[in-house]
Chain A
Amino acid sequence: MTDITPVATTELTDAEADAVAMGDYKYGWSNDDSASNYAFKSERGLSEQTVRDISAHKNEPQWMLDERLKAYQYFLDRPMPEWGADLSGIDFDNIYYYIKPTESQAKSWEDLPDDIKDTWDRLGIPEAERKFLAGVGAQYESEVVYHKLREDLEEQGVLFLDMDSGLREHPEIVREYFGKIIPHNDNKFSALNTAVWSGGSFIYVPKGVHVEMPLQAYFRINAENMGQFERTLIIVDEGASIHYVEGCTAPTYTTDSLHSAVVEIIVKKGGRCRYTTIQNWSDNVYNLVTKRAEAYENAIMEWVDGNLGSKTTMKYPAIKLMGRGAHGEVLSIAFAGKGQHQDAGAKITHMAPDTSSVITSKSISKDGGRSSYRGLLAVKPGATNSKSQVICDALIIDPQSQTDTFPYIRIDEDDVEIGHEATVTRVNEEQLFYLRSRGLTEEQANAMIVSGFVEPITKELPLEYAIEMNKLIQLQMEGSVG
């Protein structure tokens, strides 16, 4: 008999069960965020001086300060994007742009202040590290407070640092790649990130090294009106491979926070990178992220993107297929509940011959939530024999909820094979009746239909994350009823 794969029946931890009982977001607790509790907390709002202060605080080289200032100017000049989700609620003057929680980074969980350590314990990160991770970075507010890589990987030359340490210890690599995949003037929010970035991951995997277990970074916002702007750079050298996973949560506040990350990835010839996100921000967080990867000859780049939380998300992980035979894949799940707008999708550009790509997007809308798929598929001249398949499936749980699809396709080459399928499904009364006739409540039946709907994506996740994803979906389905 086969092993029983985890679907919505997994037992919950105490903290999760508490959340179910309360019918709310399970990560909603917060620690004291008054300034005295932090090593450093900037004033609210953004000015050139804030940008200079952040850079000075970090003892950065001049070129990085110059980069930040250029980006700041561009951020000021560029209008707010009007083409996607409603961002009019963001009050840039009310946000804290830099909060340093501790004086120094810990190598052991025990060295962290109690409330911060407790946070990670409640999120299960130390336990996950013991069980199945090759390395962990844990960012709290603006800084990575804990960081560790397994020694054998260190010995093989794998670099896994927070971005600030990366800049200090490997300035030549950072300077070569920083802002090259996503320039500061790519968009208003990549400019904002470049101006005030702090934390994030810096990863280099040397030629031919396979990191078999995932590296994980966990991003936690604790303070009210926090702006978190981590910056991640991943370089996978020729024939190397890595799986990087990020998770994100925040307390529930009545006023908004902002998370605006930039992630740049280079996968060299024959390399492979999978980047998995389980984003579960509280429903007061604007999540505006720019992610882009370049895949060279015969390289494989995969984004697995789970968007469950946040008030508003705008995120379109991108892949440029730069070399012959490169393959790109984006698998995404978006779950829009009450008051949420998930505007997510993918961008893939075929720049070379014999390249292939697959975009699979699954969205669920419930309790008046809205999920939008926004995607771009481009094939440049000369990218002959390119193949691409785009599949967008939307599931709508109730009549108040909404979904829309904006697929853009630009093909400048004749010799290509492109497929596009889109479906919108409403939960069907006969299916519900059937499941309920087996004793499942209406909520359980709905949750089961949803977990089945996203199964093509959850089955791609490592077991632990598949369980987590299913639990989160179950919580979403059981929460906020009526």
Chain B
Amino acid sequence: MADLVIKNLHVAVEGKEILRGIDLTVREGEIHALMGPNGSGKSTLSYALMGHPKYEITEGSVTFDGQDLLELEVDERARLGLFLAFQYPQAVPGVSVTNFLRMAVNAHRGVLSSDTRNDDPDAPKPIKIPEFRKLLEAAMDLLKVDRDLIRRYLNDGFSGGEKKRVEILQMAMLNPHVAILDETDSGLDIDALKIVAEGVNTLVTERGMGALVITHYQRLLNHITPEFVHILVDGKIVADGGPDLAKQLEADGYEKVLEGFGVELPARHGGDANKKPKTAGVAVGASA
């Protein structure tokens, strides 16, 4: 079972502890939402799970597909079936989306060098071009991706919305067991949001993908219905619930909802926390 099991995870950045004991399990076919005010550590969790070198694991464990995830290199984690849809995807000038996708698909098939001539008949072989095209066409249809977009250089000069769509296109092509979507809703207009949500729902229902949807706002959750909602405050999950919890947050704001759980927002979230977190695009509190 390709479950992602996080136990008592502590993460520090440049010596400062950001996550202070996270416990969370994402199973195949489950959708989890991780919500919380800015600065609570949501993005730190996604980077730490993917293995960014800047994020130091100081305590705890993470297993994925039965393996110790923290022992693995970034690319090994990816090939094992973990995917991160980035909040801020990097541009790679000169490399078209198509070529990038083909290389990534091949890497997932185990083609890790240009030595594609191998006498061993069981050695991994690169995907045939017609097969690749078919996969790509299907993924683009699912996500209504403009054909011009894949000829352009990866994320180079893309709008925020284009970047997010291409993140989800990559997810559809790479077929992960568990995907972390880090603020994928930011930068998307309502139509794009619906399409992206539909794509995620399809992967979850048809392919049994597990999803950890990190978001500040409810609006993505109007289209992706999580079974589990977790609220992260100051590096700890302080509240768990079902889809109603997200709706409650939408209606009442973090402070009031958390009061019900007997949790007080730390002072640095101050006045911001009183606002209802529904107005997309308004920065709240410290940056993530």
Contact = CB atoms under 8 A, between A and B. Distances in A.
A433 B107 contact: no
A7 interface: yes
A454 interface: yes
Interface stretch (B32-40, B87-95, B228-236, B273-281): B87-95
A434 B86 contact: yes
Interface in A342-392: none
B96 interface: yes
A444 B107 contact: yes
Contacts of A438: 75, 78, 100, 104, 107, 170, 174
In this complex, the member of B93, B106, B107, B174 whose beta carbon has the largest number of chain A beta carbons within 10 angstroms is B107
Given A5-B99, A8-B114, A436 B75 contact: yes
A431 B126 CA distance: 24
A475 interface: yes
Contacts, number: 133
B268 interface: no
A333 to B, nearest CB: 12
Contact of B75 (A10, A20, A441): A441
A17 B126 CA distance: 14
B115 A20 contact: yes
Contacts of B106: 9
Contact of A471 (B104, B112, B114, B150): B114
A306 to B, nearest CB: 16
A49 interface: no
A421 to B, nearest CB: 15
B147 interface: yes
A99 to B, nearest CB: 34
Contacts of A17: 114-118
Interface residues of B, number: 48
Interface stretch (A103-111, A120-128, A445-453): A445-453
B165 interface: no
Contact of A439 (B95, B104, B116): B104
Contacts of B104: 438-440
Interface residues of A, number: 45
Nearest to B73: A436
A475 B106 CA distance: 18
B108 interface: yes
B52 A433 contact: yes
B78 A11 contact: no
Given A7-B96, A443-B113, A444-B112, A431 B78 contact: no
A21 B119 CA distance: 12
Interface string A440-482: 1111110011011111100000000000000100110010000
A14 interface: yes
A12 B117 contact: yes
Interface string A1-30: 110110111111110110011000000000
B75 A14 contact: no
Contacts of A439: 75, 78-79, 104, 107-108, 174
B50 interface: yes
Given A11-B116, A436-B78, A431 B92 contact: yes
B116 A4 contact: no
Given A14-B117, A456-B94, A448 B103 contact: yes
Interface in B52-84: 52-53, 73-75, 77-79, 83-84
Nearest to A15: B117
Contacts of A449: 92, 95
A430 B102 contact: no
A16 B170 CA distance: 30
Given A1-B133, A439-B78, A444-B107, A9 B102 contact: yes
Nearest to B93: A452
Contacts of B174: 438-439
Nearest to B78: A439
Contacts of B53: 429, 433
Contact of A448 (B86, B92, B112): B92
A110 B175 CA distance: 52
A273 to B, nearest CB: 27
A8 B107 CA distance: 12
Contacts of B94: 451-456
A62 interface: no
A11 B127 CA distance: 11
A219 to B, nearest CB: 25
A36 interface: no
B267 interface: no
A16 B73 CA distance: 28
Contacts of A448: 92, 95, 100, 103
A419 B179 CA distance: 47
In this complex, the member of A433, A448, A451, A475 whose beta carbon has the largest number of chain B beta carbons within 10 angstroms is A433
A20 B117 CA distance: 10
B209 interface: no
Contacts of A475: 114
Given A8-B99, A438-B104, A444-B107, 7 more contacts: A10-B114, A11-B114, A11-B117, A431-B90, A438-B100, A455-B95, A455-B153
| Shortest beta-carbon contacts, A-B, top 3 | A452-B94, A455-B94, A439-B107
Interface of A: 1-2, 4-5, 7-14, 16-17, 20-21, 428-431, 433-445, 448-449, 451-456, 471, 474-475, 478
26 contacts: A1-B147, A4-B102, A5-B99, A7-B96, A8-B114, A11-B117, A11-B126, A12-B117, A16-B114, A17-B116, A431-B91, A433-B53, A434-B89, A435-B90, A436-B74, A437-B50, A437-B51, A437-B78, A439-B79, A442-B75, A445-B75, A448-B92, A448-B95, A455-B153, A475-B114, A478-B114
